[in-house]
Amino acid sequence: MPKTIKFIVLIVLIFLLGVFFISLNKSTDYNTEHLIGNKLNKIKFESLEHKKIFTEEDFKKNNYTLINFWASWCAPCRIEHPILIKLSKEQNLKILGVNFKDKKINALKFLKDLGNPYDYLAKDTSGKESVNYGIYGIPESILIDNKYIIKKKFIGPLNLKDYDDILEVINSL
């Protein structure tokens, strides 16, 4: 076997094992708790339906905004959907839905079938924008106030306890 091939094979394998080793020593509990209390500096999302960009200006007037990351292909998103519908009836809260790595037609069908809880509907087709918000899986939700400070962060589908927590924050005004 030519030396170069041997060399390349060996380098690739050592690289692979090295990466495994590095990831072992990384904390796997990807903890985004520390983000709570931080300020979102720049909000920028493209609208799903229209040629419009949502920026922080759009959310300034809301007392609280819940940014919910979801997709039509995401099964747990269906589970949390009823909670979002309930939240959408709250006065103090607006909901921004960020449709994550999805097809527009599927996303709209999802909302048509299950109801649309979102006051703003944005998209992140590549999934890159969401990374800036500490999102690593969906569904995830972030509750911010009118100064864009992160009040709460929810990983995984919203449940009844999260619902209570959100109500507590938004009704504490």
Contact predicate 123/53, CB 8 Å? no
| The only residue of 121, 124, 163, 170 in contact with other proteins, by rule CB under 8 A | 163
List binders of other proteins among 27-86 (CB under 8 A). Answer: 28, 30, 73, 75, 78-79, 81-83, 86
**Taking CB under 8 A as the rule, does residue 101 contact other proteins?**
yes
Q: How far is the CB of 110 from other proteins (least distance, A)?
A: 8
Nearest CA to 66 out of 98, 112, 39 is that of 98
- Which residues, in sequence order, are bridge partners of residue 47? 122
Residue with tokens 């590549």: 126
Nearest CA to 150 out of 14, 41, 69, 44 is that of 41
Peptide bond before residue 117 is cis, with ω within 30 degrees of 0: no
Nearest CA to 124 out of 65, 60, 53 is that of 53
| 102 is an active site residue | no
| 74 is an active site residue | yes
Size of the site for other proteins (CB under 8 A): 35
| The only residue of 49, 69, 93, 136 in contact with other proteins, by rule CB under 8 A | 136
**Catalytic (active-site) positions:** 74, 77
Q: Which residue ranges make up the site for other proteins (CB under 8 A)?
A: 1, 6, 9-10, 13, 16-17, 19-26, 28, 30, 73, 75, 78-79, 81-83, 86, 101, 113-114, 127, 131, 136-137, 159-160, 163
